[in-house]
Amino acid sequence: MRYEFTAEEEQFRAELVEWIDELDDDYKGLSEAGSDDDWAKSLEVRRMLADKGWLTLHWPVEYGGQGASMMKQVIFTEEMVYHSIPGRDGFGTRMLAPTLMVHGTEEQRKEYLPPIARGDVQWCQGYSEPDSGSDLASLQMRAVDDGDHYVVTGSKIWTSQAHRADHIFFLVRTDPDAPKHRGISFLLSETNVPGIRIEPIINMAGHHQFNQVFFDEVRVPKANLVGEENRGWYVAATLLDFERSGIDYPAQAQRALDELIAYAKGMKGVTGLPLSEDPDTRRRLVDLQIQVDSTRGVAYEVADMQGRGEIPNKEASMAKTLGTRLVQDVHRFGVDLLGMYGQLRPGSYLSQLDGRMLDAQLGTVAYTIFAGTTEIQKNIIATRGLGLPRG
C-alpha cells in the first residue's frame, strides 16, 4: 500500500526538517538514557518543541494542543526519530495527558496538563512489578484506605526514567478480595515524597535507563486517584492504547540502514572493492530496506485507522512485532558488516560509526520485551487477527 500525504502534511514535514537542519548539532544524536548533561540538553529541546506547539501537536485545541491529524503526528515522530532528535515526552504528553483528558477530574486536568504542555515535568510509569509483567492484572502493590489518603507499600520495577522523573503514575491494589482486574486503582504521586526510594538498574549496554522504585507507606492524597477506585484497570488500558503507534521502529531502522549503506560505499572489503559491491552485502541491504518499507506501511495503516476513529489492535501488535524485530535485525547486521570494528564501543578511537551499531544492538534487545513482549503480541494477532482459539 502507498500512502499519499496531503499538501499540508508535506508542508509540515518540510518545515520540521528545516527546523531540525538548523538545530545546533550539540542537540542531535543524544540519548535520553545518557549523561546528566545529555538529559539537560534533551529538556532544552523539549521546551523548544513546546514553544513551537509541537510537543502537544496531537492534543485537542481545547487543551491547548494543535488538534493535528494522526498522520501529522506520525510525520513528527518519524522525522524526530530518523534525525535522532531528543525531547519528545512519551510518558507525559503521549500517555498520561490524553488519559487525564478521558478519565481525569477537572482539577486534575488543570493541575497536571499545563506543566506537561510546557515541557516542565517528567513523568514515569509504574505498572510492572517484580512478579507482574505480561500478566499485569496480577499486580500486588497495596494501597490501604486511610481517610483522605491511601497508604501505599510495595515496589515497581523496570521503571524507565524514574531517576529523572518528578512524578509517577502507577497502579495499586485497593481491593485484595475482588477478582484481579477489579481491585486495581490508578494513582498519581510526586516522586520526591517520604517513603519513595529509587534504585538504579543498569542494562547490558551499560546505560542507566530503568530502575526499581520502592514504596514504603507512602501517603497519596485521594485527590490523586484517576477514575473510580477499583476501576483503574480501565484507566490503565486507555493509557496503553495511547502507548502504541509503531512508526518509531522503521524510522530508527531507516536511519541505521542509511548509515550502513554510506559505510558500505566508502569502506573497501578484502577484495579491494567497496563493500557495497559485494553481492551478499547488497542482498542483505536490499532485504532490510524491503523490511523497513513494509513495516513503515503497517505503521501508517495503524495511524490511518486511528485517524478514522477506529481502534487498531492486531494491527498495532503487528507494527510492534515487525518493527522491533526489524530494529534488532538492522543493528545485528550492522555489527556484522563492521567486522572486527563492530565490537568496539562508542568512544573507542578505532570504532566505526562511533560504535553506535553495537550499542544499539545491545540496547534494542529490550525492544521485544517492553510495551508488551513479542509473545504477547503474537497471542493477540493469533486470537484477534487470525481467530485462533486461546492456547
Ligand X SMILES: Cc1cc2nc3c(=O)[nH]c(=O)nc-3n(C[C@H](O)[C@H](O)[C@H](O)COP(=O)(O)OP(=O)(O)OC[C@H]3O[C@@H](n4cnc5c(N)ncnc54)[C@H](O)[C@@H]3O)c2cc1C
Catalytic residues, by residue number, are 243
Contact by Cβ (8 Å): 87, 38? no
Contact by Cβ (8 Å): 71, 303? yes
- Part of the chain binding ligand X (CB under 6 A), chosen from 6-14, 18-26, 147-155, 364-372: 364-372
Among 134, 192, 294, 348, binds ligand X (CB under 6 A): 134
Among 104, 133, 183, 355, binds ligand X (CB under 6 A): 133
Look up residue 96 and give its three cell numbers: 498520561
Q: Is 289 in the site for ligand X (CB under 6 A)?
A: no
* Beta carbon of residue 379, minimum distance to ligand X (angstroms, whole number): 5
SS3 244: coil
CA 70: distance to chain centroid?
17
* Beta carbon of residue 122, minimum distance to ligand X (angstroms, whole number): 12
Q: Where are the alpha helices (DSSP H) in the chain?
A: 7-22, 36-52, 70-82, 97-103, 106-118, 232-243, 248-266, 279-307, 314-337, 356-363, 374-380
Measure the CA–CA gap between 148 and 326, rounded to whole angstroms. Answer: 49
Q: Is 364 in the site for ligand X (CB under 6 A)?
A: no
Contact by Cβ (8 Å): 125, 210? no
Question: Contacts with ligand X: how many residues (CB under 6 A)?
Answer: 17
Indicate the residue type of 344. L
* Beta carbon of residue 363, minimum distance to ligand X (angstroms, whole number): 8
User: Nearer Cβ to ligand X, position 174 or 324?
Assistant: 324
- Part of the chain binding ligand X (CB under 6 A), chosen from 64-72, 81-89, 265-273, 370-378: 370-378
According to CB under 6 A, which residues from 149 to 178 bind ligand X?
158-160
Look up residue 272 and give its three cell numbers: 579491494
User: Nearer Cβ to ligand X, position 72 or 163?
Assistant: 163
Residues that bind ligand X (CB under 6 A): 125-128, 133-134, 158-160, 210, 366, 369-370, 373, 375-376, 379
